[in-house]
Amino acid sequence: MQDVTDRPFWALMTRYGGADVYFTEYFRVHQDSRLERGILESITRNPTGRPVVAQMIGNLVPDLVRTAKELQRHPVAAIDLNLGCPAPVVYKKCAGGGLLREPQRVDAILGALRDAVTIPLTVKTRLGFEDDRNFDEFLAIFARHRIDLLTVHGRTVAGGYRSAVDYGWIARAVAQMKCPVLANGNIDSAQKAEAVLAQTGARGLMIGRGAIRNPWMFSQIRQKQSGAGITLPTGHEVLAYVRDLYEAVCPPEVREASQVQKMKKYLNFLGLGVEPTGSFLHQMRRVETKADLFKLCAFYLDHPHPMPLEPLAIPLSNRDVLAVAAT
C-alpha cells in the first residue's frame, strides 16, 4: 500500500509475526522514471528475512520493460504488474486499475514483460473497471502469457473499498488459471482467512489494510491453521503497538506536525476496530500534536480487555478516506 507499507512498517510487522512474502509499494513507471530510492531500499535493505516482490505501476511498454530489467538486478523474488489500484490519481492516467479498460494494452504489456522477465512474473488485478464482464478475457490474457502468480482483489475499480467482495470470481480464477492464485479483499480476521481459503480454493492470501489494523493477524492465522486457540491482544498491547508504530514510521528529523499526519494514515485503519461510533476516528483526524494523539489513544486503548480488532459497523460518508471509489 503506497506510502504506508514501507520498509519501516515491514520491520515492525516482523516483530508481530510477519507475512511469508512482502510486496513493495509500487514503483511509478513512466518515460522519465527512475527506481525510487525509498522503495528500492525495502529490497536492498530488506528487514524481514522473507522474499520480496517488486511491484510496478504504469502503462508504457518500453518503460515497464526497462524498469523490470533494472529491478532484476536486485534481490527480488518476482516482478509484479499492478492492475488493481483504484485511486483516481492512478486510474485516470490509465495505470493500475485504469488498465482494466484496455485489454489489448494489457496483452501487449504482459507479452513484452514475459519476454524481459527471467524470474517469476506476477499480476495483481481487480475484477474489472466498472463491472466484471471482461474478467474472463483478462484471465485468458494472463494464462496466455504464463504468469507465475495471480492476486485477485474481488471488487471492481469502481467498487473502491466499499462494495462487497465477490469471492466467487476469485474461485473462478482459481479454477481457470494454472498458476497459483492469491485471494485479496476484506481479510480481517483469522476466521475470515480460513473461510476465504475454503470458499475460493486460493493458494494463499494477500493482506493489506487488515494487517495495519491488526499486526497480530499473521500469527493468528497460523494459530488457526494449526488448530491452536487464537490469542487476542489486550487494549494495553494495542496501545503499545501504536507507540511502536510511531517510533518505526515517523523519522525523528521530520517535524512533529508531519509525523502526526503520517500516523493518521495508519490510525484510519486501526480506528475501524477500536469502537463502533466513529468517535475515535473523528477525534483522531483532528489532533495536531503527538501528546494529544497519544492522550486520545490512551483514552480508548489503555485497558486490559481483549480486542478482536475486526472492523466495526462505523458509518462512513462516501467521501471518507476509507471509502475510496471511482468517480
pLDDT of residue 327: 31
* Cα–Cα distance, 277 to 76 (Å, whole number): 43
Q: Please identify which residue in the block is written with the cell numbers 524481459.
A: 116
Same domain for 222 and 239, yes or no, is no
Q: Is residue 308 part of a domain?
A: no
pLDDT of residue 314: 86
Last residue of a domain, one of 226, 256, 275: 226
40 phi/psi in degrees, rounded to 5: -60, -35
Same domain for 111 and 255, yes or no, is no
303 phi/psi in degrees, rounded to 5: -150, 165
**Residue 64 belongs to domain with CATH number:** 3.20.20.70
Three state DSSP letters for 151-199: EEECCCCCCCCCCCCCHHHHHHHHHHCCCCEEEECCCCCHHHHHHHHHH
Same domain for 151 and 106, yes or no, is yes
User: Which residues are catalytically annotated?
Assistant: 85
Same domain for 210 and 296, yes or no, is no
Are the CB atoms for 47 and 11 separated by under 8 Å? Answer: yes
Pairing of strands 181-184, 149-153: parallel
Q: Which parts of the chain sit beneath pLDDT 70?
A: 318-327
* Cα–Cα distance, 173 to 156 (Å, whole number): 15
Same domain for 95 and 205, yes or no, is yes
Handedness of CA 28, 173, 143, 188 (dihedral sign): positive
Same domain for 261 and 143, yes or no, is no
Host H or E run for residue 42: helix 37-44
Count of domains forming the chain = 2
Same domain for 214 and 252, yes or no, is no
Q: Is residue 323 part of a domain?
A: no
Same domain for 209 and 241, yes or no, is no
pLDDT of residue 316: 74
Count the alpha carbons within 13 Å of 132 in the hemisphere toward its beta carbon: 19
Same domain for 35 and 56, yes or no, is yes
Structural domain containing residue 252:
235-301
* Cα–Cα distance, 49 to 41 (Å, whole number): 14
